[in-house]
Amino acid sequence: MDIQGGRAVKGVNFVGIRDAGDPLELALKYANEGADELVFLDISATIEERKTLVPLVERIAAEIDIPFTVGGGIKSVEDARRLLQAGADKVSLNSSAVLRPQLITEIATEFGSQCVVVAVDAAFQNDEWVVFVKGGRESTGLVAKSWIAEAIAHGAGEILLTSISNDGTKNGFALDFTDEVSRESSVPVIASGGAGSEEHFEALFNNTRASAGLAASIFHDGLIPIPQLKKYLKDVNIQVR
Amino acid sequence: MIAIIDYNAGNVRSVQNALTRLGYPSAITKNETEIRAAEKVILPGVGEAGSAMRNLRNSGLDEVIPTLTQPFLGICLGLQVLCEYSEEGDTPCLGIFSNQVRKFEANEIVPHMGWNEVRAKEDELFRGLNSPSDFYFVHSYYAELSADTSATCNYILPFSAALNKGNFYATQFHPEKSSTQGTQLLLNFLRL
């Protein structure tokens, strides 16, 4: 769930951000419907250089009974501590980890690798998957695979892999890219960006080693309710809860 | 009152949130008197075994915990420190359970993170739950199987998903993060 100004929002290819509802209401609805994990990304936190909305995290953590990852604007061990104390189970680092990879190590040393997710936003450009930061606004020139290997070496416990090229399009996950990354990763990879149908999840789990699939638009828009998606995956023999 | 032991491990707040949702008042504490007086005691945990044991020793709780007689629940790292020994940081632990705690082979995806099936024996903690039921795991170390194993899970190899010996219960998974089935398990513990 992308958050901006205290509201759930969603864009296409990271632009054209529109309102998607009240984050607490949506969080409760998804937890009750059988979502396996909730990821909450304050997408404007880095840009506006303000702290993630700790009180909102507190309210959501108090209500939901599934794993809860929070990201956006985390620049120090203290920022991470504040969110974990507010009830987040994991923190997700993006721009600040690219800027200073040592931050991954510092947070992993303090709280364990299992609570450090490194979110990688990548777009396909000139035959390469390139890492972007600041909510997809700025290219780093880094090749995604090399950055991911470095992030894992620094102590990342999980990779949240988003294809900017697919995000919000509902045309399917970036399968080849996800396969390449997940095959080489020693930690779980969550694939994100492009989910538009049940078949897209089936293709993800049949064609890549991704441990999980993340979706937002299809749930926010009520296109595919979570129970329906899970039933579909069970019927095609993909192990789901 | 439920005592949640404070030993600088993470995840304490999640456990307290779950108890609050269920209507059970709790206190996060390292105070011996408060812990001894509690109806139930929970040792939560996310963190590293060596520093967890150091923190327990520093507050003298390594001596207190084995003498407690009320129902006691260790969660995740809380299960591992109740075992005899952990490979993590080459750490002698509390020895309530005779199990050894080992690291998962590194050629697989580690940590074991996500939902997985748990098969339980006849055990009061799992009353009313289907076997298998799915629970949420996050861990890189596991307790081997032993006579105290009350539920098993399979990841790379079969390991102890839950342990029980007398008043001591422990789960490797996080019931406070395991949706309705986790809530049922916590309620089973709270009603012991």
* Cross-chain residue pair A67–B136, CB shorter than 8 Å: yes
Which distant-in-sequence residues (6+ apart) come within 8 Å of B65 by Cβ? B5, B41, B43, B56, B72, B82, B94, B96
Nearest to B119 by CA among B75, B67, B51, B173: B173
**3-state secondary structure (DSSP) of residue B141:** strand
At A47 the pLDDT is: 59
Chain A residues lying within 8 Å of B21, measured CB to CB = 62-63, 65
Cβ–Cβ below 8 Å for B115 and A241: yes
- Catalytic hit among B39, B76, B108, B144: B76
Higher pLDDT pick, A44 / B6:
B6
Spot the catalytic one: B83, B88, B112, B176: B176
Q: What is the pLDDT of residues B126-166, one digit of tens each?
A: 999 999 999 999 999 999 999 999 999 999 999 999 999 99
Question: Is the confidence at residue A109, as pLDDT, over 90?
Answer: no
The whole-number pLDDT of residue A135 equals 85
pLDDT at A53: 77
* Mean pLDDT of the A122-144 span: 94
CA B58 to chain centre: 20
Higher pLDDT, A104 or B13: A104
State the alpha helices, DSSP H only, in B69-178: 77-82
What is residue B192's predicted lDDT score, i.e. its pLDDT? 96
For A174-188, write each residue's pLDDT tens digit.
999 999 999 999 999
Pairing assessment for the beta strands B2-5 and B40-43 based on DSSP bridges: parallel
CB-CB neighbors (< 8 A) of A114 in chain B:
46, 111, 113, 138-140
Residue A169 C-alpha from the chain's centroid? 16
Q: Return the percentage of chain A with pLDDT > 70, whole number.
A: 97
Residue B85 has pLDDT above 60, yes or no: yes
pLDDT band at A207 (very low <50, low <70, confident <90, very high): very high
Contact A84 B10 (CB under 8 A): yes
pLDDT at residue A45 greater than cutoff 80: no
In chain A the first and final C-alpha atoms are separated, in Å, by: 21
Residue of A nearest to B141 (CA): A114
Which strand ranges, in their side-by-side order, compose the sheet holding B112-120?
B26-29, B2-5, B40-43, B72-75, B168-171, B157-165, B149-155, B112-120, B133-139
Query: Is B176 a residue of the active site?
Result: yes
Å between B116 CA and nearest CA of chain A = 8
Name which of A37, A26, A8 is nearest A190 in CA terms: A37
Quote the pLDDT of residue B72: 98
pLDDT, one tens digit per residue, over B26-54 is: 999 999 999 999 999 999 977 789 989 99
Using the 8-state DSSP alphabet, how is residue B66 labeled? G
Question: Binning pLDDT at 50, 70 and 90, where does residue A14 land?
Answer: confident
pLDDT grade, residue A141 (50/70/90)? Answer: very high
CB within 8 Å: A114 and B139: yes
> Best interface-test mutation with A: which of B28, B46, B183 has the largest number of A CBs within 10 A?
B46
Catalytic, B124? Answer: no
pLDDT score recorded for residue B46:
77
Among A36, A64, A114, A226, the residue to mutate for chain B (most B Cβ within 10 A): A114
Catalytic residue among A79, A121, A167, A179: A121
Residue B31 to residue B62: CA distance in whole angstroms? 13
What interface predicted TM-score (ipTM) does this complex get?
A: 0.88
Q: Quote the pLDDT of residue A6.
A: 85
Q: What is the pLDDT of residues A49-101, one digit of tens each?
A: 556 578 899 999 999 999 999 999 899 999 998 898 888 999 999 999 999 99
Walk me through the domains of chain B, giving residue ranges and CATH numbers: 2-190 (3.40.50.880)
Output the pLDDT for position A48: 59
Instruction: Verify whether residue A2 is a known catalytic residue.
Output: yes
Residue A46: the pLDDT is 65
DSSP symbols for chain A: -EEETTEEEEEETTEEEEEEE-HHHHHHHHHHHT-S-EEEEETTTTTTT----HHHHHHHHHH--S-EEEESS--SHHHHHHHHHTT-SEEEE-HHHHH-THHHHHHHHHH-GGGEEEEEEEEEETTEEEEEETTTTEEEEEEHHHHHHHHHHTT-SEEEEEETTTTTS-S---HHHHHHHHHH-SS-EEEES---SHHHHHHHHHHS--SEEE-SHHHHTTSS-HHHHHHHHHHTT----
Contact B70/B36 with Cβ under 8 angstroms?
no
* pLDDT confidence band for A105 (50 / 70 / 90): very high
Contact: B109, A212; criterion CB under 8 Å: no
Q: What is d(CA B65, CA A17) in angstroms, rounded to the nearest whole number?
A: 52
Picking from B167, B175, B166, B133, the residue whose alpha carbon sits closest to that of residue B152 is B133
Task: Measure the CA–CA gap between A195 and A14, rounded to whole angstroms.
Answer: 14
Q: Please judge whether B113 and A113 are an interchain contact, meaning their C-beta atoms are less than 8 angstroms apart.
A: no
Q: For B113, which of A86, A188, A209 is closest by C-beta distance? A: A188
Q: What is the residue-averaged pLDDT of chain A?
A: 93
A73 or B74, which is more confident?
Answer: B74
Instruction: Say if the Cβ atoms of A113 and B178 lie within 8 Å.
Output: no
DSSP H or E stretch at residue B153? strand B149-155
Question: Is-above-0.95 flag for pTM?
Answer: no
Q: What is the mean pLDDT of residues A19-34?
A: 95
- Mean pLDDT for A218-239 is 95
